[in-house]
Amino acid sequence: MKNFTLYIFVFCVLLFYSQFSKGAPNIIIILTDDLGWGDVSYNGGPISTPNIDKLSNNGVQMNRFYSAPTCSPTRAALLTGINSLAVGVIRPIDNPTADRYGLPLKYKIMPQFFKDAGYQTALSGKWHLGMFSDEYLPRNRGFDSTYGHLGGGIGYFDHAVAGRMDWHRNGEILYEDGYSTTLIADEAIRIIKNKSEESPLFLYIAFNAPHTPIEAEENIIKELGFIENEKERIYAANILSLDREIGKIIDSIESEGILEETIIIFFSDNGPVFNIDPIAGVVASDILDSRGNTLGLKGSKGSTYEGGIRVPAIIYYKGVLEKSLSDQFFFVDDVLPTLLSATNIKANSNIFTGVDRWQDLIDNNIKPPVNVVTGNVIVNDERALFNGKWKLFYSQNIQANGPKTYELYDILNDPYETQDLSRQYQEVFNEMKNTIDNQTLWMNPPKIDPVMMFLWGDRFTEETRFIGNPWLDRDYELKEPPSPFINLILFIWIMILAYKQEVIIAILVSVLFGILIKFYLKSSWFRQ
């Protein structure tokens, strides 16, 4: 009996030791760019993504994960744990010569939390949170090593945007051949293989895929010859490469023997690109090549309808998180407080708008959201407010100073947002509308003419709207404004390109109407 008791005691000690002696888990975040709800096969999409599916089949599939509608706002919320509208990153930070700001320096961000806790920290991929000044670069924001591009939407082969090279290692320009998706994955694998045995690893892998310009490896495009539409074929090839590289990363984690001590979280920064404003399609024609899929969810990138913000997401931690489908509402600013909780890193929860969902994930609890906001401000000011089962959609075209639009949805029972319930549930609607109306942005949205910005730079703005925000502090390249006549000609030409079908119809109708009038007048003359 004594021996049996001793055996039980030893077993318990060993079990305790095995659970708590291995130290803090590694953290690996895999972020894709513009990957839609229907761009993964585990959600029923047409493009096969076996490696992402494998991760989903063995982890927690987060069925209601919400990002911001565009790139930089999502990244700001992810790294700060604070809603991007509150942080002040309200639109993509795209212009390396004029955007003299970035993720505000006053915020302690994710790699700094982990670095302070003894983690090795690394970034492989896209930054997109400031690139004009050194202080905003990722190497100065808590990362031990950085690799990839600072802006958004680079060429997959030439690693350039608007003719400007945007490929770096630790802040220095790097000239390197290769397909960017593969290069980002290779760097991540190199970091995993060379991981310090003394320190856990925080690795942020931010792919450019499948962001525009949509480019793919020729051999994969040829393998998809059965897809008749060329743009759909290239888009599918782009995602196949992305899935392959994610598989290689997970294989490297396993081959290094650290899979059981690694938390992997995968998600997209926003929904896919389609339903593009025609003028935007003229000034940035590459966006028309995207063939993203929401499987019927309303809206796309830039919109706070479900198709723009509800994205595929998975979290995996072997032996701790059971394989499951979670309907817990999970917002991108929840990631940081949740990971800090998972790694027992102490932080003041009051500094975050995000919520620690770690125990909810373990227990597969479902807790409704309480007044959670996501959104962005570009040409449109678009926001979504979630409270319980309710979602309030808000939109205003700030360039045209258009009317404000509000729509109320029971998002649990109507995920496709087919029925606006604002009239049926006026009390709920009015309460949520007041919450949106009283929400203050960190800065006022600038009024920007996208056509003029494209043609002559961003000095063509309504500067009076810049008072009190970082857009004021810029060195603009001085250019002579176009004459009113040239401006009118260009505007007409852009409108013709953007709305060519409508223009052709209008011309045909006008010609037909002219012929009828002429015929009528001629007939009247003959009758006299």
pLDDT in tens, 153-175: 899 999 987 677 889 999 888 89
Helix H or strand E encompassing 384: strand 380-387
User: How does residue 131 score in pLDDT terms, banded at 50, 70 and 90?
Assistant: confident
Among 175-184, 372-381, 475-484, where is mean pLDDT lowest? 475-484
Domain harbouring 79, CATH code: 3.40.720.10
Same domain, 358 and 489: no
Same domain, 361 and 503: no
C-alpha span between 438 and 456 (Å, rounded): 36
Does some domain include residue 414? no
C-alpha span between 249 and 91 (Å, rounded): 30
User: How does residue 439 score in pLDDT terms, banded at 50, 70 and 90?
Assistant: confident
Q: Give the three-state DSSP class for 165.
A: strand
Hey, CA dihedral for 174, 127, 211, 50, is it positive or negative?
Answer: positive
* Domain boundary residue, one of 311, 342, 367: 367
* Domain boundary residue, one of 367, 390, 414: 367
> Is residue 430's pLDDT more than 60?
yes
User: How does residue 177 score in pLDDT terms, banded at 50, 70 and 90?
Assistant: very high
**Could you tell me which residue, 487 or 16, shows the higher pLDDT?**
487
Does some domain include residue 512? yes
Angle 234-46-289 from CA coordinates, rounded to 5°: 30
C-alpha span between 143 and 51 (Å, rounded): 28
Average pLDDT over residues 136-160: 93
C-alpha span between 95 and 151 (Å, rounded): 8
Average pLDDT, the chain: 85
CA atoms within 13 A on the CB side of 527: 6
Same domain, 107 and 254: yes
Name the nearest CA neighbour of 166 among 141, 143, 148, 139: 148
Among 373-387, 426-440, 514-528, where is mean pLDDT lowest? 514-528
* Domain boundary residue, one of 367, 395, 410: 367
- Determine the structural domain holding residue 237 and report its residue range: 25-367
Residue-by-residue DSSP string for 309-331: HEE-EEEE-TTTSPSEEEEEEEE
> Is residue 14's pLDDT more than 50?
no
Among 29-43, 277-291, 314-328, 355-369, where is mean pLDDT lowest? 277-291
> Is residue 78's pLDDT more than 80?
yes
Please count the structural domains in the chain.
2
Amino acid identity of 363? D
Angle 391-393-397 from CA coordinates, rounded to 5°: 170
